[in-house]
Amino acid sequence: MKKRTRSTGKSKSKESTPSSRLPSTTEEKNSKRPSVYKSEDGQILFGARGDELRRQLATLTGLDDFEAAMGVMEDFLSLQPLPHDPDQINEALALVQHLNPRDQLECMLIVQMLAVHKMIIEYSKTLSISGAVLVDNGVVVRQVTRLVRTFNAQVETLGRYRGKGQQTVTVEHINIHGGSQAVVGSVHSSQGGGHGKSSG
């Protein structure tokens, strides 16, 4: 007689984690970044005030000096297309935050990079418009090429500036004399000394 196996019908399933339980940092990041809105009379204003605005600007720009941070923000806002759109400005502020400037020079360079990037996009839109007859496409292409080169140079400049504190030591040779310290690299003696240039 064959033995019958009985299935219990029970299967272990992995418990799914509701999205509400997952940690989200979006709101936290947004709270650290200044945002703007348009008032009833059409002015572009920061949403935060006082110490909160100071903290947000310091986090965004890498500057503890409020006046310096506001000066950079004025330059930033002056580069935004008119009429000012709060949503577009807030998107640009998010890009500044993502690039994470650490001091005034980095913040100024990043603002310039965003301005050049915006011009590249606008000129490229001109080229993409079918039947555009009011512009010389050759001129626009050359302008876009110059802007792309400028942007690439800005990226390289930012990278070099951020790496300015890094030093590389190349070991050419190591000489260890009896009872003395190790000598790393090339050694030049002063004139009249008993040791000449060491050889590897």
pLDDT at 191 > cutoff 60: no
Instruction: Tell me if 6 is assigned to some domain.
Output: no
Tell me the mean pLDDT in the region 24-35: 64
Its pTM surpasses 0.75: no
Calculate what percentage of the chain has a pLDDT beyond 70.
62
pLDDT tens, position by position, 93-151: 999 999 999 998 999 999 999 999 999 988 888 776 655 555 566 788 888 899 999 99
Query: Is 172 inside any structural domain?
Result: no
Task: Assess contact for 96 and 110: CB atoms under 8 A.
Answer: yes
Let me know if residue 63 belongs to a domain.
yes
- Taking residues 40-57, report their average pLDDT: 91
C-alpha to C-alpha distances, 124 to 118, 144, 147, 170, 175, nearest whole angstrom: 10, 7, 11, 45, 60
Hey, which residues does 174 pair with through a beta bridge?
184
Q: Is 18 part of a structural domain of the chain?
A: no
User: Is omega for the bond preceding 83 within 30 degrees of 0, making it cis?
Assistant: yes
**What angle in degrees, to the nearest 10, is found between the helix axes of 50-61 and 86-99?**
50
Give me the number of domains the chain comprises: 1
Asked whether residue 194 is domain-assigned, the answer is no
| pLDDT, tens digit, 9 for 90 and up, residues 130-142 | 555 555 667 888 8
Mean pLDDT of the 49-59 span: 92
Q: Is the pLDDT of residue 158 over 70?
A: yes
Domain span at 94: 32-164
Query: Three-class SS string for the chain?
Result: CCCCCCCCCCCCCCCCCCHHHCCCCHHHHHHHCCCEEECCCCCEEECCCHHHHHHHHHHHHCCCCHHHHHHHHHHHHHCCCCCCCHHHHHHHHHHHHHHCCCCHHHHHHHHHHHHHHHHHHHHHHHHHCCCCCCCCHHHHHHHHHHHHHHHHHHHHHHHHHHCCCCCCCCCCCEEECCCCCEEECCCCCCCCCCCCCCCC
With pLDDT > 90 as the criterion, what percentage of the chain qualifies? 35
